[in-house]
Amino acid sequence: MDLKNGNILIRQLEANPKAKELMLREFPMLSSQLIRLVRNMTLSQVLDLVKSFHVPQSKINRVLQQLKKL
């Protein structure tokens, strides 16, 4: 999947069920309701939000690699 250097919109990720499931599984703070609120934000913006929940950068990097493989 082309993440457009982190500039892909969350709504574009949501269009891929596997990408959405991965994001919700790995970042449970992005509940189904919250993910709808951030639909027009970029992946980079949402990952900055995720960092505020003290998610390690190593986990974020791993998820980015998995998204790229989709």
For the beta carbon of residue 46, count every other beta carbon within 10 angstroms. Answer: 21
Q: How far is the first Cα of the chain from the last one, in angstroms, to the nearest whole number?
A: 5
Question: Rounded to two decimals, what is the model's pTM?
Answer: 0.88
Strand boundaries in 1-70, DSSP class E = none
Q: How confident is the model at residue 65 (pLDDT cuts 50, 70, 90)?
A: very high
Per-residue pLDDT at 61 exceeds 90: yes
Contact yes or no for 63/26 (Cβ under 8 A)? yes
Three-class SS of residue 22?
helix
In a 10 Å sphere around its CB, with 0-12 CB exposed, 13-18 middle and 19+ buried, how is residue 43 labelled? buried
Residue 7's pLDDT is: 97
- pLDDT tens digits along 4-36: 999 999 999 989 999 999 999 999 988 877 877
**Which residue ranges make up each domain of the chain?**
4-69
